[in-house]
Amino acid sequence: WCDARWRSLSLSAASGAGGASQPAPYTKEELAAALRDGQLMNYYQPKVSIASGRMVGVEALVRWQHPRDGIVYPDNFIPLAEESGLIDQLTRVVFSSAMKHARTWHEGGLDLSMSVNVSMDNLHSLGFVDFIVAEAAAAEVAPRKIILEVTESRLMQDLRTPLEVLARLRLRRFRLSVDDFGTGYSSLVQLRDIPFDELKIDRSFVHGAGEDPTKRAICSASIGLARQMGLDAVAEGVEDSADWRFLQAIGCDLAQGYFIARPMPADAVLAWAAHWQATCSHELERLS
């Protein structure tokens, strides 16, 4: 449904998860050196409104440009960063870079929200709030344009400080998203305890949901839950037009996935947005 020009633009900038060969496990020292030497870079994946087709934001997804192994995907080093205490530094690097890019795009006339992934391990000190507030202010990006996507990858022992950090960020008007909802520890308990603004349905429930009664039920229930709680519902992992149509039919607000675009380097975002606005949003209107 979409022309070859767009497809090549989107695919040449491609990075998606899963395609890469799995590198050897890395050590803390290697990751620390990579952070020091500036080998981490942000890719960005567009997020679009299902009702209007409009691009509303991007999500920052970190990649390690490894001198020997090429592009290394975050599943290969985020757990290491969390275990080794490097996650704080990593999140700061990603967030700072995301703020610089957000500012550039705002100056270029693109009114995009910026989503950044945050690990629960980042939330153990109130200093994190000060850092986020200061970086956003320095880049002159409004907190309401910034969405912090929280994933709980393992069970947390003491949630008091993390909950306070999130509450303080929300008071400062930053927006909070529950990522990979329905998997791991991203659960109803989190929805009860944390003042989220957005719910991201995990991609394992999204692709193929139109044909799979179980996935369909999970998607519908998640969207119903989001609506009743006043949250935006985002489907991740939208891979084909059947996924898109299903989500449209059940009233999902926003979509992200390879059907729309793969994550791309920062310098591809403006061109992608212009092309999307010029052609693909009209294609989607026809699709509906």
By CB under 5 A, name the binding residues for Mg ion: 117, 149, 179-180, 236
Q: Judged by CB under 6 A, does residue 74 bind ligand C2E?
A: yes
First to last CA, the chain: 12
For residue 181, report the phi and psi dihedrals to the nearest 5 degrees. -55, 135
Amino acid symbol at 288: S
- Binding of residue 114 to ligand C2E (CB under 6 A): no
Task: List the interface residues with ligand C2E, window 158-217 (CB under 6 A).
Answer: 179-180, 203
CB closer to Mg ion out of 180 and 243: 180
Give the DSSP H or E segment for 4.
Answer: helix 4-12
- Rounded to the nearest whole angstrom, what is the least distance from the CB of residue 241 to ligand C2E in the complex? 13
Taking CB within 5 to 8 Å according to partner kind, which of Mg ion, ligand C2E, none is near residue 73? ligand C2E
- Closest by Cα among 124, 113, 172 to 147: 113
Pairing of strands 198-201, 232-235: parallel
Choose, by CB under 6 A, the member of 26, 44, 64, 73 that binds ligand C2E: 73
Binding to ligand C2E (CB under 6 A) within 130-159 occurs at 149, 151
Q: Could you tell me the two tokens for 65?
A: 């440009």
61 binds, among ligand C2E, Mg ion, none (CB under 5 to 8 A by kind): ligand C2E
- If one asks whether residue 261 binds ligand C2E (CB under 6 A), the answer comes out as no
At 265 the three-state DSSP class reads strand
Angle at 285 between CA 280 and CA 288, to 5 degrees: 125
User: What is the β-pairing status of strands 175-181 and 146-151?
Assistant: parallel
Interface with ligand C2E includes 236 (CB under 6 A)?
A: yes
Q: Looking at 1-9, 123-131, 253-261, 276-284, which segment touches ligand C2E (CB under 6 A)?
A: 253-261
CA distances from 129 to 134, 171, 245, 277 (A): 8, 11, 39, 35
Smallest Cα–Cα separation from 152: which of 131, 114, 115, 183? 183
Comparison of 107 and 244: residue with beta carbon closer to ligand C2E? 244
Question: Which residues are near ligand C2E by CB under 6 A?
Answer: 16-18, 45, 61-62, 73-75, 78, 91, 94, 117, 119, 149, 151, 179-180, 203, 236-239, 256-258, 263
